[in-house]
Amino acid sequence: MDEQEVNRYWKKIVNTMTEGLMLVGPDGTIVMVNEAFEHLTGYAADEVIGRPCTLLECDACEGAMKASADRWCKLFEEGQVIKCRCHLLKKDGTYVSALKNASVLKDDNGMPLGAVEILTDLSELDRLDQKLELLARQLDEGDGFQGIIGNSGVMRKIFDVIEKAAKSDAPVIIYGESGTGKELVARAIHQLGNRKERPFVQLNCAALNEALLESELFGHIKGAFTGAYRHRQGRFEAANGGDIFLDEIGDVPLSIQVKLLRVLETKQFEHVGDDRPVSTDVRIITATNKNLEELIDQKKFRDDLFFRINVFPIHLPPLRYRSEDIPLMVQAFMRRLRSKTAKEISGLTPQAMERFMHYHWPGNVRELKSALEFAFVIAERGLIDIEQLPPKFSQRQQPPAVSQGLSRQVATPDDGNLISSSLAANPRDLAEKEALVDALRQTNGNQSRAARILGINRVTVWNRMKKYGIDLKRVLTTQN
pLDDT surpasses 80 at 289: yes
Over the stretch 71-120, which tens digit does the pLDDT of each residue have? 556 666 655 667 778 888 888 888 888 888 888 877 777 777 788 888 88
Mean pLDDT on 181-197 = 93
Lowest mean pLDDT among 181-190, 339-348, 362-371: 339-348
Look over the chain and give the mean of its residue pLDDT values, rounded to a whole number: 81
pLDDT tens-digit readout, 139-173: 444 466 888 998 888 899 999 999 999 999 999 99
pLDDT in tens, 38-48: 988 989 988 98
CB 334 within 8 A of CB 374: no
Cα–Cα distance measured from residue 293 to residue 283, given in angstroms and rounded to the nearest whole number: 23
**Whole-angstrom Cα distance, residue 256 to residue 236?**
13
Domains of the chain: 3-121 (3.30.450.20), 125-317 (3.40.50.300), 330-373 (no CATH), 425-477 (1.10.10)
SS3 for 51-77 is CEHHHHCCHHHHHHHHHCCCCCCHHHC
The pLDDT of residue 136 is above 60: no
Residue 164 carries which side chain, given as an amino acid letter? K
* Rounded Cα distance, 235 and 239, in Å: 6
**66 pLDDT above the threshold of 80:** no
Residue 74 has a pLDDT of 64
Q: How far apart are CA 288 and CA 60, in angstroms?
A: 39
Confidence (pLDDT) at 190? 95
Percent of the chain with pLDDT over 90: 31
Question: Are the beta carbons of 122 and 85 closer than 8 angstroms?
Answer: yes
The model scores a pTM over 0.75: no
Q: Which tens digit of pLDDT belongs to each residue from 369-421? A: 999 999 999 988 889 999 999 988 876 554 444 443 333 333 333 333 333 33
> CA nearest 129: which of 97, 161, 90?
97
Q: Which long-range contacts (CB under 8 A, 24 or more apart) does 346-351 make?
A: 346/382, 346/383, 347/383, 347/384, 348/383, 348/384, 348/385, 349/383, 349/384, 349/385, 349/386, 351/385, 351/386
Q: Which residue has the higher pLDDT, 166 or 468?
A: 166
The per-residue pLDDT for 130 is 64
